């Protein structure tokens, strides 16, 4: 099973993804580490990425998802995946379980203002919400609840899927 924890910057994708991976005993991948240096420089300067900027990054993530599937490895990935076409790219030929950390802009702004060492700055938040196309068919969890509750909701939602997968 490959799970992608998605949402805007500051929603808690990395924290929740790491916790879910730990609970499932599988690998965790923070897709941010796969950004090309040019993307990181751009975001560090407060310039939102374009679709063209994201294309090679999405292709790199997709390759990692394909590798995990072919190796029959479970994987949890933290990735913004804000637009449906990004999710289509990531899921091409790879069955994914989407977890959407839904958040209010005011809460996320407060979180981003507290961040010290991350390239995603609060000034770019408006572009994140502008790009966000809420997913259909995803497990939706309120990003404002405590992480332990978020993880429990996710695990409760994926367990039936996991059992179903192992019956075949």
Question: Mean per-residue pLDDT for 18-36?
Answer: 96
pLDDT on residue 126: 77
Based on the number of CB atoms within 10 Å of its own CB, is 125 exposed (0-12), middle (13-18) or buried (19 or more)?
buried
Question: Mean per-residue pLDDT for 7-26?
Answer: 94
**Domain containing 97: what range?**
2-166
**Domain count of the fold of the chain:** 1
The helix or strand, by DSSP H or E, that contains position 83, with its residue range, turns out to be none
pLDDT in tens, 157-166: 998 665 545 4
Residue 96 scores a pLDDT above 50:
yes
> Residue 1's closest CA among 168, 158, 167?
158
Looking at 45-124, list the stretches that DSSP marks H as alpha helix, in order from N- to C-terminal side.
51-70, 84-91, 105-114
Residue 88 scores a pLDDT above 50:
yes
SS3 of residue 147 by DSSP? helix
pLDDT on residue 167: 46
Under the banding of pLDDT at 50, 70 and 90, the label for residue 95 is: very high
pLDDT on residue 162: 59
Question: What CATH number corresponds to the domain at position 36?
Answer: 3.40.50.300
Residue 57 scores a pLDDT above 90:
yes
Residue 120 scores a pLDDT above 90:
no
pTM of structure: 0.87
- The chain-wide mean pLDDT, for the chain, equals 88
Residue 20 scores a pLDDT above 80:
yes
């Amino acid at each position: 099973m490959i799970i992608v924890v998605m949402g805007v910057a500051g929603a808690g994708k990395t924290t929740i993804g790491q916790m879910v991976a730990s609970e499932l005993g599988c690998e965790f991948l923070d897709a941010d580490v796969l950004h090309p240096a040019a993307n990181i420089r751009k975001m560090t300067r407060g310039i939102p990425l374009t679709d063209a900027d994201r294309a090679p990054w999405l292709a790199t993530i997709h390759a990692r998802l394909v590798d995990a599937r072919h190796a029959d490895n479970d994987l949890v990935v933290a990735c913004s995946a804000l637009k449906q076409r990004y999710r289509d790219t990531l899921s091409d030929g790879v069955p994914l379980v989407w977890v959407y950390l839904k958040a209010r802009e005011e809460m996320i702004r407060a979180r981003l203002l507290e961040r010290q060492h991350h390239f995603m700055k609060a000034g770019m938040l408006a572009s994140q919400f502008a790009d966000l196309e809420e997913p259909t068919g995803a497990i939706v969890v309120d990003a404002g609840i405590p992480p332990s509750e978020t993880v429990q909701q996710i695990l409760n939602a994926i367990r039936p899927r996991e059992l179903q997968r192992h019956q075949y």
